[in-house]
């Protein structure tokens, strides 16, 4: 303005002419304007009178270049100009500070009106180097000069920054833990500015002319210009203002990314003209260099520029201590200025705009959308007024302790454990507001009672530890545990946040994920359409197992045994259990072991293996993966039995150096009752294995069933709470958290020898199998899954994003394993066969063995029954029974109970371990065994037969929990590891064994043919029709015989104690190991007719068929089995019948059909009958008829027909009416002797 006035006074407004004249500013009075090259700090002082400087000693040279002096605004009045002659500064650099000249000797009084002083002028030295401003810098000059024509005004507002600061801390902590990056205050304020403009679109406008008249333009988009200050190589700085286009269409995540991309382009010198074009509003943040308040220039074509000042406490509190500030609840503030084009925006509008930003920065919704856009799964910190704790209510220190306890109890409810669906989690119990606390308490210090290893902590730090421990990608349930020592142990273990793994461990985890993913991808590519029940979506199982078993190897455990379902089994076999990849590929191509043709085999995802696991540090331990059927969870008790047997063989008391790991599905863990049974075994002395680690691979779906339809509980793992087992819920997309949880679980197991549960929340990328279409039933879930990147990809991106590894390192790791798989596939036909332990064995024929024992052994065993320990008080009713056992040896009438004692004792003497387990097994359901005696006075126990053993691991008699399924499965598993042992599972009644039908069908009867798994377990099933009703009469003989084929089992129904003695000793000493089903007696236990002489034990062997030598050339031959023999004998004696031979079949499978035919041949004219007390559709009859018939390959009976005598066919096994039972029994006996 003044420059124009100098050139032509008529060119400016008359008001300005009058103003310049009043202040002595004469047109044309400035002879040498100040140079723009010199900074203001180097200006020469002005003269005291008229603005004329002292006369220089030498004439000043003419400056090379001059620029007009900037006109400054002081209280809204232009500053008076002065005639200033540039003074020469010979040989003085332009940046040198000149001396101050002062001709006044005494101060002058300060006038009432402020004195207007001329602007200082810096002379351009003759040696100055002048550089033209080109390119972007030149356009900035043009823009700044053009901005002088924009009439602007500025609104100012101070905004509390407390909530902004606290939520930014939460945001950046989340980013630091996950993918990296950092959000600045400028990002947040800029986004608040955009959101406010969306509410007030009139702020996004510009002044223009339409047909020569003033007009306002409304841009289609919000294009935000951001001021970027760049440092150049020569130390100078450059200001660039590119713009982010279309901001109103972005969420915060997109805006943040666009903002950072623009800054990156600026720093790399990659900005183009398009980046500067179309800016509609701008933001500048001089607060980053400490400026509190700024009035920036508004560029032509824009209507608004927002200035952001420095964040600091109010000036009056900047000298206060931190304690004072936190106590008083003083927040830092940030000053925002809205500089706007006054032609199109009014002051009230601008003020309202700043108010909107103010409210935005304190609102819940603003931070909610930011957290949601960044996928931060927590509710932001909320704005609230400070609450002072009064003396008559609960002090805040106690509220903080309540808050700590609330996180320990309920923190898992806010944990981010779902890798599929983003949810902003909150819970009233975990809200600081629910405890009378607010954001103003975050920087206040409270006593913690030792929480986090400190006695005092700021609430901010307390919340940080609590959330890092209980609410990140791991949620922990444990506060229901009634042992304080366990709770404290967990707290000390987990309340340290989430320390980052060392780089070498991160790379190892990534390699394991690569192995898992590459394996599945390879099979999917090479064997399209084949079922394999892939682990895709749950690949974190592999690094989790690797970490856990690695910890076991470090602690020198002898072995780790794994039981798991079919999902992911092949991956675990290859990448954990060490099964050769080539062998797995051979199975996909249909190649089998040479001797597998004699068995049926099984699908590849049911097979097991054993080998050696090598940890990353070189430590090793043996590893065993049990074979299993598709019956989910059935393998669980089997594996527990396997582990207990291995521990008993090691015979190191309480060492528990063999660790069981069980993997489950979420639906099956919640739905299958065998899990409850198996969990209940964990702390029982007869079943304890020192703690099992349970890993629930939580796919969040069971085949096609969603969780809401598969359980009533919140978690599939809630069943574990009944045994006080801690539960660690972990997000399957955070492999480092999985590794951390694996180590916690292992250490807990080692510390307390208890079960522990890991709930690995993941997903199933494909359907139930590779041919299934899951989107039919879970369309929304699979829309998420289809768009989701793999766990390996996410983890690799996080490692690279956080700067933990380079992208090149990640690519190299992936290439290495893919090359390895390709090499294995190429050599698949050259792979050596697996260990013989896992080949399908040839069927071995049973062998005859010497089963009799010396009389001295019999006597030694009998003596143990009365070798009562000193001070031990036997129940007075029991003592005679024990004494009678010694007398039996003398009189030669050994009953069933004593026959069992002789059986077990003789095997112990021969070095064979004996384990008997079942409901009431120690006493015996029918009070006949008394293998363990209880002191009547103090409850101490005495096991007489242990006097025959060298150590306690040789003889176990276990009262089982009230279970059939898990209890039988445990004994089956135990028997597979100790084939030299007599392992008996005894049913309370044989009728109840059907509760374990899965174990019978899938393991006992078929495991040898499917998996080559050898077992010698004995199922002792009390059986006999004695009027006790439909549930206490039949062990369902017909069902077991129906399962018999390929020499898979031995089925016996002995009728004397000596027969039991010989068959059990034959069973254990026979090298052809197979399970045995033994239908044990009930009434025969005390039947005098069913006793044996001592000679029957010291001589002879097991008789498959016992002929009747009392009848020659009989007219009727009755074949039978079991207790009905004694009914028939009694009836024959009653009738004084002498022409009927009664033959006992003691071995039902393999059926001695030829022996039966030979006996029948001795009586060529006899009618042949099969008599049973079971109904016609039950019992052995159908099996006997089929196996003896010539028509079906049996030996036949020389043209004669074997006919049945039995009760009529019925749906129920037996009648519940005692009188009807008696009538049926009479009819049965009558028909037997009249046909």
pLDDT digits (tens, 9 = 90+) for 683-728: 999 999 999 999 999 987 655 666 776 678 899 999 999 999 999 9
Distance CA 179, CA 157 (A): 35
CA-nearest of 1042, 1046, 1081, 1075 to 1060 is 1081
CATH, domain 1105-1232, list 3.20.190.10, 3.40.50.11610, 2.40.128.20, 1.10.10.10: 3.40.50.11610
Residue 109 above 70 pLDDT? no
Q: Are 1005 and 1142 in contact (CB under 8 A)?
A: no
Give the residues across from 447 on adjacent strands.
456
Residue owning tokens 């290893």: 453
Residue 87 above 70 pLDDT? no
Contacts for 220 with CB less than 8 Å, ≥ 6 apart: none
Q: Show the tokens assigned to 1039.
A: 């069902």
Residue 561 above 60 pLDDT? yes
Residue 739 pLDDT level (bands cut at 50, 70, 90): very high
| Burial of 358: CB neighbours in 10 Å, binned 0-12, 13-18, 19+ | middle
pLDDT at 585: 74
pLDDT at 4: 62
Q: How many CB atoms lie within 10 A of CB 822?
A: 12
Q: How many CB atoms lie within 10 A of CB 1208?
A: 9
The values of phi and psi at residue 84, to 5°, are -125, 125
Distance CA 721, CA 700 (A): 20
CA torsion 14-16-21-23 (nearest 10°) is: 160
Residue owning tokens 């992208």: 807
138-373, which class in CATH?
alpha beta
Q: Show the tokens assigned to 138.
A: 């030149």
Level-2 CATH architecture, domain 855-1098 = 3-Layer(aba) Sandwich (3.40)
Please report which helix (H) or strand (E) contains residue 847, including its range: none
Q: For the residues 940-947, what does the mean pLDDT come to?
A: 95
pLDDT in tens, 571-581: 898 899 888 87
Q: Show the tokens assigned to 842.
A: 């040839």
Is the model more confident about 3 or about 872? 872
Give the residues across from 1207 on adjacent strands.
1175
Contacts for 830 with CB less than 8 Å, ≥ 6 apart: 582
Contacts for 937 with CB less than 8 Å, ≥ 6 apart: 873
The values of phi and psi at residue 888, to 5°, are -60, -35
Distance CA 24, CA 858 (A): 139
Distance CA 1089, CA 1129 (A): 10
Distance CA 206, CA 214 (A): 11
Residue 1193 pLDDT level (bands cut at 50, 70, 90): confident
Q: Show the tokens assigned to 944.
A: 């007489």
Residue 988 above 70 pLDDT? yes
Q: Are 516 and 795 in contact (CB under 8 A)?
A: no
Cα 1035 to Cα 253, 986, 1042, 1225, distances in angstroms: 68, 12, 13, 19
Pairing verdict, β 1167-1175 and 1202-1207: parallel
| Burial of 1069: CB neighbours in 10 Å, binned 0-12, 13-18, 19+ | middle
Let me know if 342 is a catalytic residue.
yes
Q: Are 691 and 749 in contact (CB under 8 A)?
A: yes
Q: Are 1153 and 1195 in contact (CB under 8 A)?
A: yes
Residue 1049 pLDDT level (bands cut at 50, 70, 90): very high
CA-nearest of 155, 233, 249 to 194 is 249
CA-nearest of 241, 47, 46, 213 to 137 is 241
CA-nearest of 584, 625, 596 to 824 is 584
pLDDT in tens, 789-824: 899 999 999 999 888 999 888 888 888 877 876 776
- As a whole number, the mean pLDDT across the chain is 85
Q: How far out from the chain centre does Cα 1055 lie? A: 55
pLDDT at 640: 98
Distance CA 8, CA 28 (A): 9
- 3-state DSSP call for residue 476? strand
Residue 140 pLDDT level (bands cut at 50, 70, 90): low
* Cβ burial 253-284 (10 Å sphere, 16+ → b, else e): eebbebbeebbebbeeeebeeebbeebbbbbb
Residue 85 above 90 pLDDT? no
Distance CA 865, CA 874 (A): 11
What is the SS3 string spanning 1118-1134? Answer: EEECCCHHHHHHHHHHH
Q: Show the tokens assigned to 1227.
A: 């009819």
Q: Are 873 and 1068 in contact (CB under 8 A)?
A: no
Distance CA 518, CA 514 (A): 6
Q: Are 784 and 764 in contact (CB under 8 A)?
A: no
Distance CA 413, CA 1230 (A): 72
Residue 541 above 80 pLDDT? yes
Q: Report domain extents, the chain.
A: 1-127, 138-373, 396-472, 503-832, 855-1098, 1105-1232
Cα 708 to Cα 129, 702, 721, 1053, distances in angstroms: 79, 11, 20, 48
Distance CA 699, CA 764 (A): 5
What percentage of the chain reaches a pLDDT higher than 90? 62
Q: For the residues 521-533, what does the mean pLDDT come to?
A: 70
Angle among Cα 600, 602, 608 to the nearest 5 degrees reads 125
pLDDT at 5: 61
- Cis before 923 (ω within 30): no
Q: For the residues 99-118, what does the mean pLDDT come to?
A: 41
Angle among Cα 1173, 1086, 850 to the nearest 5 degrees reads 85
Residue owning tokens 């890991």: 758
Residue 33 pLDDT level (bands cut at 50, 70, 90): very low
Q: How many CB atoms lie within 10 A of CB 750?
A: 16
pLDDT in tens, 228-287: 888 877 777 888 899 999 999 999 999 999 999 999 999 998 999 999 999 999 999 887
Contacts for 1001 with CB less than 8 Å, ≥ 6 apart: 1043
Please report which helix (H) or strand (E) contains residue 568, including its range: none
Q: Are 350 and 171 in contact (CB under 8 A)?
A: no
Q: Are 226 and 259 in contact (CB under 8 A)?
A: yes
Give me the catalytic one of 221, 293, 342, 1062.
342
Cα 473 to Cα 177, 784, 949, 1095, 1165, distances in angstroms: 10, 19, 52, 71, 83
Among the listed ranges 95-99, 344-348, 402-406, which one has the minimum average pLDDT value? Answer: 95-99
Angle separating helix axes 855-863 and 896-909, nearest 10 degrees = 110
CATH number of 396-472: 1.10.287.1150
Radius of gyration, alpha carbons of the chain: 46
Sequence length of the chain is 1235
Distance CA 168, CA 183 (A): 7
Residue 467 above 90 pLDDT? yes
Q: Are 1067 and 849 in contact (CB under 8 A)?
A: no
Please report which helix (H) or strand (E) contains residue 309, including its range: strand 304-312
pLDDT in tens, 1014-1036: 999 999 999 999 999 999 999 99
Q: Do domains 855-1098 and 1105-1232 have the same CATH topology?
A: yes
pLDDT in tens, 401-439: 999 999 999 999 999 999 888 888 889 999 999 998 999
Distance CA 419, CA 473 (A): 9
Residue 625 above 60 pLDDT? yes
The values of phi and psi at residue 271, to 5°, are -70, 145
Please report which helix (H) or strand (E) contains residue 664, including its range: strand 658-665
First to last CA, the chain: 138
CATH, domain 503-832, list 3.40.50.1100, 1.10.287.540, 3.40.50.970, 3.90.1150.10: 3.40.50.970
Among the listed ranges 26-35, 202-211, 1109-1118, 1174-1183, which one has the minimum average pLDDT value? Answer: 26-35
pLDDT in tens, 482-525: 999 999 999 999 998 778 899 999 999 999 998 888 888 877 77
Residue 1174 pLDDT level (bands cut at 50, 70, 90): very high
Distance CA 118, CA 100 (A): 16
């Amino acid at each position: 303005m003044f420059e124009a006035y100098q050139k032509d006074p008529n060119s400016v407004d008359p008001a300005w002419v009058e103003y310049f004249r009043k202040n002595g500013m004469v047109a044309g009075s400035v002879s040498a304007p100040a140079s723009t090259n010199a900074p203001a700090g180097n200006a020469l002082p002005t003269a005291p009178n008229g603005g004329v400087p002292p006369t220089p000693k030498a004439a000043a040279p003419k400056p090379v270049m001059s620029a007009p002096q900037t006109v400054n605004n002081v209280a809204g009045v232009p500053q008076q100009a002065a005639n200033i002659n540039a003074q020469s500064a010979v040989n003085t650099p332009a940046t040198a500070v000149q001396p101050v000249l002062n001709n006044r000797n005494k101060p002058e009084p300060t006038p009432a009106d402020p004195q207007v002083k001329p602007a200082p002028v810096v002379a351009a030295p003759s040696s100055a180097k002048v550089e033209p401003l080109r390119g972007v810098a030149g356009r900035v000059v043009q823009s700044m000069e053009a901005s002088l024509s924009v009439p602007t005004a500025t609104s100012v507002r101070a905004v509390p920054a407390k909530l902004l600061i606290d939520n930014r801390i939460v945001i950046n902590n989340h980013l630091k833990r996950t993918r990296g990056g950092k959000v600045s205050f400028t990002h947040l304020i800029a986004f608040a500015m955009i959101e406010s403009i969306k509410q007030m679109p009139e702020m996004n406008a510009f002044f223009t002319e339409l047909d020569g008249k003033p007009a306002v333009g409304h841009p289609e988009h919000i294009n935000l210009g951001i001021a970027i200050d760049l440092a150049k190589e020569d130390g100078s700085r450059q200001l660039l203002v590119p713009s982010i286009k279309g901001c109103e269409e972005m969420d915060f995540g997109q805006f943040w990314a666009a903002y950072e991309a623009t800054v990156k382009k600026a720093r790399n010198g990659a900005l183009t003209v398009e980046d500067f074009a179309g800016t509609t509003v701008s933001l500048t943040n001089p607060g980053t260099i400490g400026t509190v308040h700024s009035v920036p220039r508004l560029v032509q074509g824009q209507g608004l520029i927002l200035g952001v000042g420095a964040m600091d406490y109010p000036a009056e509190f900047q000298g206060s201590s931190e304690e004072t500030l936190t106590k008083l609840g003083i927040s830092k503030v940030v000053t925002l200025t809205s500089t706007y084009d006054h032609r199109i925006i009014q002051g009230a509008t601008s003020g309202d705009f700043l108010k909107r930003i103010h409210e935005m920065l304190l609102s819940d919704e603003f931070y909610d959308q930011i957290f949601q856009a960044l996928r931060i799964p927590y509710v932001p910190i909320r704005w609230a007024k400070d609450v002072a704790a009064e003396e008559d209510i609960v002090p805040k220190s106690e509220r903080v302790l309540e808050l700590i306890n609330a996180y320990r109890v309920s923190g898992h409810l806010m944990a981010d454990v779902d890798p599929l669906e983003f949810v902003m989690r909150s819970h009233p119990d975990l809200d600081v507001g629910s405890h009378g606390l607010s954001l103003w308490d975050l920087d206040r210090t409270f006593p913690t009672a030792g929480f986090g290893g400190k006695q005092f902590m700021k609430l901010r730090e307390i919340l940080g530890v609590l959330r890092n421990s209980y609410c990140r990608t791991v949620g922990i349930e444990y506060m229901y545990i009634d042992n304080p020592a366990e709770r404290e142990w967990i707290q000390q273990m987990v309340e340290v946040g989430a320390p980052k793994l060392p780089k070498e461990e991160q790379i190892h985890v990534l390699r394991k994920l690569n192995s898992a993913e590459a394996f599945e991808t390879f099979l999917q590519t090479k064997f399209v359409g084949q079922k394999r029940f892939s682990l895709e979506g749950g690949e974190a199982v592999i690094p989790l197992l690797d970490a856990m078993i690695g910890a076991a190897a470090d602690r020198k455990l002898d072995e780790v045994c794994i039981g798991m379902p079919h999902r992911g089994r092949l991956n675990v076999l290859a990448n954990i259990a060490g099964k050769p990849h080539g062998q797995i590929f051979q199975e996909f191509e249909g190649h089998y072991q040479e001797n597998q043709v004699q068995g049926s085999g099984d699908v590849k995802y049911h097979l097991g293996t054993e080998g050696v696991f090598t940890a990353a540090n070189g430590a090793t331990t043996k590893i065993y993966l049990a074979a299993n059927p598709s019956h989910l969870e059935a393998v669980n008790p089997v594996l527990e039995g396997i582990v207990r047997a291995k521990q008993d063989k090691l015979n190191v008391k309480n060492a528990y150096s063999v660790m069981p790991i069980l993997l489950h599905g979420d639906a099956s863990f919640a739905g299958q009752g065998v899990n409850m049974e198996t969990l209940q075994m964990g702390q029982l002395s007869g079943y304890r294995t020192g703690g099992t680690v349970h890993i629930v691979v939580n796919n969040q779906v069971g085949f096609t069933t969603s969780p809401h339809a598969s359980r009533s509980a919140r978690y599939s793992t809630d069943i574990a709470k009944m045994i006080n087992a801690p539960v660690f819920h972990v997000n399957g997309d955070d492999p480092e958290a999985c590794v951390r949880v694996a180590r916690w679980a292992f250490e807990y197991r080692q510390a307390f020898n208890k079960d522990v549960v890991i709930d690995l929340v993941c997903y199933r990328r494909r359907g139930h199998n590779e041919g299934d279409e899951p989107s039919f039933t879970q369309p929304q879930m699979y829309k998420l899954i289809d768009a989701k990147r793999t766990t390996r990809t996410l983890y690799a991106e996080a490692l690279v994003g956080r700067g933990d590894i380079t992208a090149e390192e990640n690519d190299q790791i992936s290439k290495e394993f893919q090359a390895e798989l390709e090499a294995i596939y190429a050599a698949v036909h050259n792979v050596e066969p697996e260990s013989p332990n896992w080949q399908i064995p040839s069927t071995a024929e049973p062998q005859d063995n010497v089963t009799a024992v010396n009389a001295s052994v019999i006597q030694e065993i009998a003596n143990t029954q009365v070798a009562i320990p000193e001070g031990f008080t036997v129940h007075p009713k029991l003592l005679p029974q024990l004494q009678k056992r010694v007398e039996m040896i003398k009189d030669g009438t050994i009953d069933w109970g004593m026959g069992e004692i002789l059986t077990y004792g003789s095997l112990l003497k021969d070095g064979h371990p004996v384990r008997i387990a079942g409901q009431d097994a120690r006493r015996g359901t029918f009070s006949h065994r008394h293998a363990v005696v209880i002191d009547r006075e103090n409850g101490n126990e005495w096991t007489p037969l242990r006097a025959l053993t060298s150590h306690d691991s040789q003889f176990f008699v276990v009262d089982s929990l009230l279970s059939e399924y898990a209890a039988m499965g445990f004994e089956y598993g135990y028997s597979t590891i100790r084939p030299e042992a007599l392992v008996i599972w005894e049913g309370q009644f044989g009728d109840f064994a059907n509760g374990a039908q899965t174990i019978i069908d899938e393991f006992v009867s078929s495991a040898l043919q499917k998996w080559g798994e050898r077992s010698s377990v004995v199922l002792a099933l009390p059986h006999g029709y004695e009027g006790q009703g439909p549930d206490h009469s039949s062990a369902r003989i017909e069902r077991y015989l129906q399962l018999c084929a390929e020499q898979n089992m031995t089925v016996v129904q002995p009728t004397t104690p000596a027969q039991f003695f010989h068959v059990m000793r034959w069973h254990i000493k026979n090298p052809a190991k197979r399970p045995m089903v033994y239908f044990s007696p009930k009434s025969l236990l005390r039947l005098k007719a069913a006793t044996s002489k001592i000679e029957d034990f010291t001589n002879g062997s097991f008789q498959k068929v016992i002929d009747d030598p009392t009848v020659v050339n009989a007219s009727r031959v009755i074949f039978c089995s079991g207790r009905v023999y004694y009914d028939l004998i009694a009836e024959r004696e009653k009738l004084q019948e002498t022409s009927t031979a009664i033959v006992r079949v003691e071995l039902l499978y393999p059926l001695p059909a030829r022996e039966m035919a030979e006996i029948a041949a001795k009586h060529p004219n006899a009618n042949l009958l099969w008599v049973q007390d079971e109904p016609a559709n039950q019992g052995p009859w159908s099996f006997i008829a089929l196996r003896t018939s010539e028509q079906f390959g049996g030996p036949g009976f020389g043209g004669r027909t074997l006919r049945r005598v039995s009760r009529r066919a019925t749906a129920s096994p037996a009648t519940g009416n005692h009188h009807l039972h008696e009538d049926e029994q009479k009819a049965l006996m009558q028909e037997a002797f009249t046909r």
